[in-house]
Amino acid sequence: MSAAEYREEPGQPLPPWKETMIVGKPLPRVDGYERVSGAAVFPSDTSLPAMLYGAVLRCPHAHARVKGIDTRAAEKMPGVRAVITGETPGAGVDWAYTTPVATVKTKLFDPHCRHEGEEVAAVAAETPYQAGDAVKEIKVEYEVLPFVVDPKKALEAQAPALYEGGNRVGKTQIYERGDVARGFAEADVVLEETYHTACELHTPIESHGCVARWDGPRLTVWEPTQGVFEVQAGIAQVLGLPLANVRVIGHYVGGAFGSRLTAGKYDIIAALLARKTGRPVKLFLTREETYLCVGNRPPDEMKLKAGVKKDGTLTALEYRALGTGGAYPADGTSSVDWLVRDLYTCLNVRTETTDVYINAGPARPFRAPGHPQCAWALEQMMDALAEAIGMDPVELRLKNVPSFSQARKNIPYTTTGLRQCLEEGAHAFGWKEARQKAAESRGSGHICRGVGMAASLWVVGGGRPPVTVVVKLFADGSANLNMGASDIGTGTKTVMAMVVAEELGIPLENIQIENADTGTTQFTTRSGGSKTVPSESPAVRAAAFSVKQQLLAMAGKDLKVSPEELEFKGGSVEVKGNPRKEIKISNLTELKERGVVLGVGIRGPNPAGKWVTPFSAQFCEVEVNMKTGEVKVVRFLGTNDSGRVMNRMTFECQVYGGITMGIGLAMTEARILDGNQTGKMVNRNWHDYKLPTALDVPADMVSLPIEMDDPWCNSAGAKGLGEPATIPTAAALANAVYNATGVRMTSTPMSPLQLCQAFASRGKGG
């Protein structure tokens, strides 16, 4: 094997850790000081000499065609340095949306505006206020077109069409195994229900946008993104530049949640304005603009029919979902059926998923794309089935725990911790006692206590290549970790530094990290899909391992023994069994001569013949005020089989964050479009669009990791956590609300108004 490189070959990853000294500990973030003190320079903090500010003119209509633009008045506004439209030389560039089922080719500034907020023109000026003022002076003649913002109406024949071919996004996708008709015939109980989830808006604290600067032919973009290399590729493709000439830097990211996986139109607009003015341009969107244009978890309608035998055997699942990605194709953001296919053992499954276009901003993946919605349906249905056959909901799930992926030709999972999540979670939560106590407490007032739970899996775990990582060890034994991955707030930098510290036995504070810069750091794919830690850790291990091998060889020369006789012991290399014969890393002759040792680590492929999947279950307790419809979330417990816990503190924080986000889906968040008169969004701010706050989140949150030995998964043993931590939350809450009230809430959000209406229509309430 190479001196400078360790590449995990198929079937030959580094051996899994047996015992760890650092990995697994609850350690605070390596960049905690910067984050807390404000010293961390987020991309939106970027301030460059001579920097201009960009602003975008956006279509105010849900559906319209631009007939003419007059920029003359805007160009004369104070401080204005450039105004661009689709007619400006160089700005008439293409913009495409491509997914496996549909491709739409459009323009950066397309005259056909298919949603409110679509980009029409842009300005660069000396101050953000001047830019904003100038945008208002651009005169646009619109032909206002009829709109449709309801997915069901969009399917109707007479609906306004967004495209010549109509509003369907490709064909309805069908998955089928077994025979659902036979399955329903065999069932003792068959239930059917229609579930809805509202559209949620991505709300990372740092808004979307970038700073763009040209240095001759090279463009540098500072952007909070989940994947600097994806943004690089996107910009290079649109502007026709070599990849090396597009440098994307995103050292910090103020939240992402799936909305920052690719280049945005703002990147291209900022680059064009910077090129036209010869000055750097900062273009960050307002909150209103991000709500309209750069991300949402679109609404879903899910019909689910399920059959079960009295003994708990699931006999059939039939699922028909109608989703929408908004005005453009947005793969995997809605109508995702994966939990129905694979969470529980069931021989007969049929799913039908349909996507339509509506006149609304394009969706982007939103922490576990499609999964919380599908869980909202499936996990409420499981609750209802359990009640119908008189079985405990946990028992019903345990009865149907799979050990292989049915939807993937029965490929076995490396580990299936679902059983442990359910059993250990129920035990730790005191499930039976809590259900019993809640039942006993009801009827004694208008505050009803309820207990609910739900489970989930995440469609793909264990990470994957490609990842390259470099570790550079200095002559004093301190080290630099160089990786392309973004730390989207989840602690990636901290965890990876711990991996280096573990492998090389050096203190965490002697490791510095360079990351998320296409110019100076190594290639990886985006931080998303719960794959960052399981993808990166093995590559980091491999890079550190390569450094270690080189240091052992150097020590062998100095100590005049074969490297095989040597071992690492905290900053020194010593002869096995003879700790007196040792040499400090900083004293190695060749290290002093070379100045540094460089180790390149290359992530190996995933195990053949096995599938890696994280599982989770959550348990919660609520108090529902039957007079006001208010729900108080009293406590939550999340169990996660995500493989090895790399850092117990960041692991816990991920779980708490996931639960918090799930509370938002369940209780408060819903985009509202005016379906009658305008098609416009009516709650485009933090007053009208309700995010859960500290008061909505229980103080009593517990994370219970299920750590199972998983030698197959990857050489770090981590399976992925970010998404499984939020998938079951909303369904668990709905089940708890049902448990408390006897009212099945099939639509999000379970707001006081919705609850009161539901109570009223079913004769319940105070």
Q: Is 479 in the site for its own copies (CB under 8 A)?
A: yes
Give the whole-angstrom CA distance, residue 17 versus residue 270.
Answer: 46
What is the pattern of x (binds its own copies, CB under 8 A) and - over residues 45-84? x-x-x-----------------------------------
Give the closest residue to 617 by CA, choosing from 497, 455, 457: 455
String of b and e for 563-582 (b: at least 16 CB within 10 Å)? bebbbbeebbbbbeeeeeeb
Footprint on residues 276-295 left by its own copies (CB under 8 A): 278
Span interacting with its own copies, options 180-188, 427-435, 506-514, 534-542, rule CB under 8 A: 506-514
Of 568, 554, 544, the residue nearest 470 (C-alpha): 544
Told to check if 244 binds its own copies by CB under 8 A, we report yes
99 counts as binding its own copies under rule CB under 8 A: no
Asked whether the beta carbons of 433 and 426 are under 8 A apart, the reply is no
Could you tell me the smallest distance in angstroms from the CB atom of residue 433 to its own copies?
A: 46
- Shortest approach of its own copies to residue 34 CB, angstroms? 5
> Is the alpha carbon torsion for 264, 266, 270, 272 positive or negative?
positive
CB of 330 to its own copies, least distance (A): 24
Compare residues 392 and 514 and give the one whose CB is closer to its own copies: 514
How many residues does this entry show for the chain? Answer: 766
Q: Which of residues 219-238 bind its own copies (CB under 8 A)?
A: 229, 236
The nearest distance, CB 479 to its own copies, in angstroms, is 6
Say whether residue 215 binds its own copies (CB under 8 A).
yes
Return the range that interacts with its own copies (CB under 8 A); candidates 35-43, 95-103, 621-629, 696-704.
Answer: 35-43
CA pair distance 60, 55, nearest whole angstrom: 15
Nearer to its own copies, 545 or 656 (CB): 545
Binding range to its own copies, per CB under 8 A, among 210-218, 298-306, 487-495, 676-684: 210-218
* Cβ partners under 8 Å of residue 699, min gap 6: none
39 sits near its own copies (criterion: CB under 8 A) = yes
Q: Say what angle helices 729-741 and 648-663 make with each other, to 10 degrees.
A: 50
Q: Find all residues with CB under 8 Å of 187, minimum gap 6, and list them.
A: 307, 308, 309, 315, 316
Site stretch for its own copies (CB under 8 A), options 95-103, 142-150, 244-252, 344-352: 244-252
Stretch that binds its own copies, among 32-40, 122-130, 447-455, 658-666 (CB under 8 A): 32-40
Examine residue 509 and tell whether it contacts its own copies (CB under 8 A). Answer: yes
Q: Are strands 5-7 and 94-98 parallel, antiparallel or unpaired?
A: unpaired
Q: Rule CB under 8 A: is residue 94 a binding residue for its own copies?
A: no
Q: Which of the residues 442 through 471 are near its own copies (CB under 8 A)? A: 465-466, 468, 470
Angstrom distance (rounded) from CA 597 to CA 412: 41
Rounded distance, CA 207 to CA 233, Å?
21
- Cα 427 from Cα 445, distance rounded (Å): 29
| Residue 517 lies near its own copies (rule: CB under 8 A) | yes
Q: How near is the Cβ of 713 to its own copies at its closest, in Å?
A: 21
Q: Is 161 in the site for its own copies (CB under 8 A)?
A: no
Closest-CA residue to 211 (of 130, 283, 287, 124): 283
Can you state the percent helix, strand and coil of the chain, rounding each to 5?
Answer: 30, 30, 40
What minimum distance in Å lies between the beta carbon of 8 and its own copies? 13
Q: Which is nearer to its own copies, 217 or 443 (CB)?
A: 217
For 763, other C-beta atoms within 10 Å of its C-beta total 6
CB of 30 to its own copies, least distance (A): 8
Cα angle 530-658-226, degrees, rounded to a multiple of 5:
40
Instruction: Assess contact for 125 and 75: CB atoms under 8 A.
Output: no
Asked whether position 137 contacts its own copies by CB under 8 A, the answer is no
Exposed, middle or buried, 288 (CB in 10 Å: 0-12/13-18/19+)?
middle
132 bridge partner residues: none
Q: Which is nearer to its own copies, 97 or 474 (CB)?
A: 474
602 binds its own copies, rule: CB under 8 A: yes
Residue of 514, 558, 565, 567 that binds its own copies (CB under 8 A): 514
Nearest-approach distance from CB 276 to its own copies, in angstroms: 15
Residue in 10, 12, 21, 33 binding its own copies, rule: CB under 8 A: 33
Residues forming contacts to its own copies in the complex (CB under 8 A) are 1-5, 7, 31-34, 37, 39-41, 45, 47, 49, 214-218, 229, 236, 242-245, 247, 278, 465-466, 468, 470, 472, 474-480, 482, 509-512, 514, 517, 519-525, 593-596, 598, 600, 602
